[in-house]
Amino acid sequence: MSYLVTIGLEVHCQVKTQTKMFCACRTSFGDTPNTHTCPVCLGMPGALPVLNREAIEKTLLTGLMIGCGSPEISKWDRKNYFYPDMPKNYQTTQMDLPLCIGGGVPLYEHCYPTDARKSAIPAKTVRLNRIHLEEDVAKSTHLGNSSLIDFNRAGTPLMEIVTEPDIESGEEAFAYVRSLQMILQQGGVADADMEKGQLRCDVNISLRKKPEDPLGQKVELKNLNSISAIRRAIHFEIQRQTEELNAGIPQIQSTRRWDDDRGETQMMRTKEDAHDYRYFSCPDLLPIQTAPLLAKVRPLVPELPHELAARFEHELGVTAYDAAVLSSDKHLARYFEAVTSAAIPGKKVANFIINNLLGTLNERGLGIDDCPVAPEKLNALLVSVENGTLAANQAKEVFTVLFDSPGKDPAAIADSLGFKPAEAGALDALCDEVIANNPAEVAAVRAGNEKLLNFLTGQVMKTATPKPNPKQVTDLLRARLL
């Protein structure tokens, strides 16, 4: 028997700030363990927290980007539990008055797994319940018979972005996390790098027979740290719950972990309810008024990826696919806009960036931020193609040299490779000579076999010095023969 699947996600994302949420310790990744700590983030008795204004502003900016509202007053609460990565035995968080309420994340078609894009994907927005701000815990490294704790991460500002139960498959969960990741990066509020633990995800799954039935018992999958793992874990858990329900085994509210090596979920504990954490208002932090902070960050709301893609498509004439690729990274979008000019159609710029520039960056293991070719130099190269100075294939050769020697001028590189317009008289003479030496091919062209123009062009290119634009040669031959 099959079941209706209901999924909700809790995404924990580190906010991009210089210091921690409640102290002045530096946020870091990969530094020597336990070197960025103080009495506050170590939970020493008597140490008092101080709010990080930037973290609050960036959380509110996140809410504005995805359509959240905010209460007039937002306050702080203590979530009480014992765990080695939280030495003060409570986490400072937000319970009933979070910074952001409601909103939604659109699922971008190109954010679905590749194999899921083979069929039509309906437009969908996943509703949000809330975004609250809290402090991250320390990082635990579990060994055979012991565990190591690194408190450098403890206290890092952490947004928890909670959806409504709107997701129905592992593919939609995959697209949601990737779409959210793009929006967070676009706004500059987070790097959201899952490999660095800056974005982690808990998945809540329940199954029921009919839409009118109440939601089934919720099973939470904890701390999934890659988008592909989220999809695989959901697929496994749906299958596991289906088999148990069909066998008459009821599900209980519980928390499970994902073992990526085994490809299966494993029971951790039965799940606590909210009242088990004994939430109460934090006595050390005053509530905050959100209106002044919202007024400050509202002008900082950027174009979202779908808005950027729509502009590229309608104003610059690129395809929907190209627009989706170019808007998926804010640095790539800026690079594309910097290269584009009135002298080159946007479609041609998009083609070169997607097919050549990004391919070369991928081969070298580089991101667009590390691209050595300045936008103005790529613009000059593409203008030379547009005005007929260089052929497309010649431009690719020039680009290869330019990528490794970014200080050089594209025109100088073209000259060094022997690519420059031939004098009209010399090129005319070469065309006449090739026509005279290839009477059979000339007759075939005049009889309608225009493909042989490529052969005659090749003969001219073999002897021409410097190497002209092949299109220039073909146009000369066509004018003589047709």
Residue-wise pLDDT for 271-307, tens only, equals 666 667 899 999 999 999 999 999 999 999 999 999 9
pLDDT for the residue 462? 83
Q: What percent of the chain has pLDDT over 70?
A: 97
Mean pLDDT throughout 321-336?
94
pTM: 0.85
> Which parts of 317-374 fold into alpha helices (H)?
320-326, 330-339, 346-352, 358-364
Residue-wise pLDDT for 234-250, tens only, equals 999 999 999 999 999 99
Residue-wise pLDDT for 152-191, tens only, equals 999 999 999 999 999 999 999 999 999 999 999 999 999 9
Cβ neighbours for 170, distance < 8 A, ≥ 6 positions apart: 230, 231, 232, 233, 234, 235, 238
Instruction: State the burial class of residue 402 (Cβ atoms within 10 Å of its Cβ: 0-12, 13-18, 19+).
Output: buried
pLDDT for the residue 426? 67
* Short-list 134, 185, 189, CA closest to 16: 189
Residue-wise pLDDT for 401-415, tens only, equals 999 999 999 999 988
Q: Dihedral angle at the C-alpha atoms of 219, 223, 228, 234, nearest 10 degrees?
A: 0
Q: What percent of the chain has pLDDT over 90?
A: 73
Residue-wise pLDDT for 86-116, tens only, equals 989 999 999 999 999 999 999 999 999 999 8
pLDDT for the residue 276? 79
Ramachandran region, residue 263 (left: φ > 0; alpha: ψ -120 to 50; beta: rest) = left
Alpha-carbon distance of 336 to 346, in angstroms, equals 9
**Which residues lie across from 189 on neighbouring strands?**
none
- Band of residue 425 on the pLDDT scale cut at 50, 70, 90: low
Alpha-carbon distance of 358 to 215, in angstroms, equals 45
- Band of residue 420 on the pLDDT scale cut at 50, 70, 90: low
pLDDT for the residue 423? 60
Is the confidence at residue 60, as pLDDT, over 80? yes
Helical axes 470-481 vs 439-446, angle rounded to 10°: 70
Residue-wise pLDDT for 428-457, tens only, equals 778 888 888 898 888 888 888 888 888 988
Residue-wise pLDDT for 15-57, tens only, equals 999 999 999 999 988 899 999 999 999 999 999 999 999 999 9
pLDDT for the residue 417? 87
- Band of residue 202 on the pLDDT scale cut at 50, 70, 90: very high
Alpha-carbon distance of 367 to 240, in angstroms, equals 39
Alpha-carbon distance of 23 to 46, in angstroms, equals 14
pLDDT for the residue 149? 95
Q: How many CA atoms lie within 13 A of 109 on its CB side?
A: 14
Instruction: Answer yes or no: are the C-beta atoms of 397 and 429 closer than 8 Å.
Output: no
Is the confidence at residue 424, as pLDDT, over 60? no
- Band of residue 392 on the pLDDT scale cut at 50, 70, 90: confident
pLDDT for the residue 441? 87
| Beta strands at 254-259 and 219-224: parallel, antiparallel or unpaired | parallel
Residue-wise pLDDT for 64-85, tens only, equals 999 999 999 999 999 998 888 9
pLDDT for the residue 312? 96
- Band of residue 270 on the pLDDT scale cut at 50, 70, 90: confident
Mean pLDDT throughout 304-329?
94
pLDDT for the residue 73? 98
pLDDT for the residue 482? 74
Alpha-carbon distance of 72 to 60, in angstroms, equals 12
pLDDT for the residue 263? 92
